[in-house]
Amino acid sequence: MIKFKLTLEYDGTRYAGWQLQKNERSIQGELLQAAVKVFGNQQVEVYGAGRTDAGVHARGQVAHLAVADTKLSPEQIRIRLNDELSHDVNILQVEKTHPKFHARHDAKSRSYVYEISKRRDAFGKKFSWWVRDRLDVAAMQEAAGRLVGFHDFASFSDADKDNQSSKVNLTRLDVREAGDRIYIHISGSHFLWKMVRRITGVLVEVGRGNMDPDTVEDFLETPSREPAKFTAPPSGLFLERVEY
């Protein structure tokens, strides 16, 4: 099999997430359909670096494409795949890679950004979360600092068969304000199902004054279902980058 590394962006609004699902539109499914058209009837495989949830977007998702044989150049593959894909999925780059490369297993870290709007926005509803309450960004920053490091994030995730351990090395969690937006940047070795959205929701509760940073730290010590109640909507979440 010949393997190619794909870097892509997508608007996840119309999709049930990255992962192939029966009777649902997925990004992986759209890519597979496009690849079958480009490469004909030969066997093709597509695997992503991370599973984004339904409605979550990506600016720098990485996937690998394996095909039995082709004489097409990486740039020709990029153009032809884009010709077959819907307008809300776009291949940014195609690179030929070694046969053992795996988009998920070889990834060293992943970075996400969550966008919060401080005002009603006629254009941004699909790509941000409008929080009507005034948020204390300094308190959110303090709480975020408590979560950085190697911790058990069971409180921030549902059971996930693909991750036997709920321990994650969170290398960055920054909260910054810019104009009418608040951005939460988060990087780590990997992420559990719904983990980023639950961390975001908990930080917003801190910003609202409904929770203090000590309580956030307690969630790392004792598993709790409390963060699930505050899961942020998928619309504001973007997979920004995957590092290898």
Domains belonging to the chain, first-starting first, are: 2-97 (3.30.70.580), 109-243 (3.30.70.660)
Query: Which is it for the CA torsion 63, 69, 73, 78, positive or negative?
Result: negative
Average pLDDT over residues 138-144: 97
| Contacts with 23 (C-beta within 8 Å, 6 or more apart), sequence order | none
- What pTM did the predictor assign? 0.93
Reduced to 3 states, what is the DSSP secondary structure of residue 38?
Answer: helix
Per-residue pLDDT tens over the stretch 160-193: 666 678 999 999 999 999 999 999 999 999 999 9
Start-to-end C-alpha separation, the chain = 21
Give me the pLDDT at residue 171, please: 97
Burial tier of 178 (Cβ tally within 10 Å: 0-12, 13-18, 19+) = exposed
Identified catalytic residue from 53, 160, 180, 212:
53
Give the residue from 52, 71, 79 showing the smallest Cα distance to 63.
52
Per-residue pLDDT tens over the stretch 150-159: 999 999 998 7
Give me the pLDDT at residue 163, please: 61
Determine whether 162 is an active site residue. no
Residue 123's CB is within 10 A of a number of other CB atoms, namely 7
Give the residue from 113, 124, 140, 112 showing the smallest Cα distance to 180.
124
Reduced to 3 states, what is the DSSP secondary structure of residue 216?
Answer: helix
Per-residue pLDDT tens over the stretch 189-205: 999 999 999 999 999 99
Give me the pLDDT at residue 32, please: 96
Per-residue pLDDT tens over the stretch 82-102: 999 999 999 999 999 999 999
Per-residue pLDDT tens over the stretch 59-77: 999 999 999 999 999 999 9
Whole-angstrom CA distances from 145 to 39, 149, 213 are 48, 9, 9
Q: What mean pLDDT is reported for the chain?
A: 95
